[in-house]
């Protein structure tokens, strides 16, 4: 009736999103469907949430940029959101350079910006250290 459907999740990544959103502690109905057949992806995961919750689309875009999010009201899709890799992320990737200011100053935010969308490559705002999503 009312809630959120997170669809087109690459098979196997649904549990990562489920845990990130803390849905294991939810006091409302939640469904995690894994390895569902998909014409587009072959196999996919789906999360159905029977409630409206705040979701950080930036982090979900990092986990899987091909996700679609449907906002449901009165059993109808009110809004459809297509995710992509975010241009800038804060405190979602950790800089691995031991000389970076973020390694020395514990309160410094970990800020990265997208430099190569095809490779999923981000660079640290402070020291320019590269990180790929496959490494995160």
Nearby residues of 130 by Cβ (< 8 Å), 6 or more positions away: 115, 121, 122, 123
Q: What is the pTM of this model?
A: 0.79
Closest CA to 46 of 30, 34, 63, 37: 34
Nearby residues of 25 by Cβ (< 8 Å), 6 or more positions away: none
Region 99-119: mean pLDDT is 92
Going by the DSSP 8-state scheme, the letter that residue 25 receives in this structure is G
101: part of which helix (H) or strand (E)? helix 101-104
Over the stretch 53-98, which tens digit does the pLDDT of each residue have?
888 888 888 888 889 999 999 989 999 999 989 999 998 889 999 9
Over the stretch 14-40, which tens digit does the pLDDT of each residue have?
998 999 899 989 899 999 999 999 888
């Amino acid at each position: 009736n009312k809630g959120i459907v997170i669809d087109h999740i690459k098979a196997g990544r649904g549990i990562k999103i489920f845990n990130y959103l803390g849905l294991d502690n939810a006091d409302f109905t939640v469904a995690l469907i894994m390895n569902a057949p998909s014409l587009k992806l072959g196999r996919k995961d789906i999360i159905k949430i029977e409630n409206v919750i705040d979701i950080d689309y930036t982090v979900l875009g990092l986990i899987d940029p091909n996700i679609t999010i449907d906002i449901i009201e009165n059993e109808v899709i009110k809004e459809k959101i297509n995710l992509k890799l975010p241009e800038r992320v804060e405190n979602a990737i950790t800089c691995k350079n031991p000389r970076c200011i973020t390694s020395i100053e514990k309160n410094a935010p970990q800020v990265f910006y997208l430099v190569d969308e095809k490779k999923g490559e981000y660079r640290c705002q402070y020291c320019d250290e590269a990180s790929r999503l496959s490494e995160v």
